[in-house]
Amino acid sequence: MRAFLLTTATALAMSASAAHADVWQEREALAKVASEISALERLVHDASKINQADGRVKFNYDTLMADLELIRSGIAAHLSQPINPVIPSTVDGISGGYTQGNR
């Protein structure tokens, strides 16, 4: 029985440390996502400069930039939270509608 308890305690300790490592891996991955979003924002800015104002369908760059900023700020808010205790957070939904007819 003692061996079982020792094995169980060891397994629990290992899974707890693995879960803690996963938190850091997640944070690292989210930091990379935030960095990629910054790169995307630069690309979107460049694309907005060459858009066709008189095109049949106009791409809404402002909406896309707002959504990218919302995602990046949600990631930043998550990364600024302490690891323990885990506090659930809410993030506003992105709007989506990136195209609109030219009126």
Per residue of the chain (103 residues), give pLDDT as tens: 455 444 544 554 554 445 556 889 999 999 999 999 999 999 999 999 987 777 778 889 999 999 999 999 999 999 998 887 656 677 777 877 787 776 5
> pTM to 2 decimals?
0.60
Three-state secondary structure string covering the chain: CHHHHHHHHHHHHHHHHHHHHHHHHHHHHHHHHHHHHHHHHHHHHHHHHCCCCCCCEEECHHHHHHHHHHHHHHHHHHHHCCCCCCCCCCCCCCCCCCEEECC
pLDDT of residue 61: 92
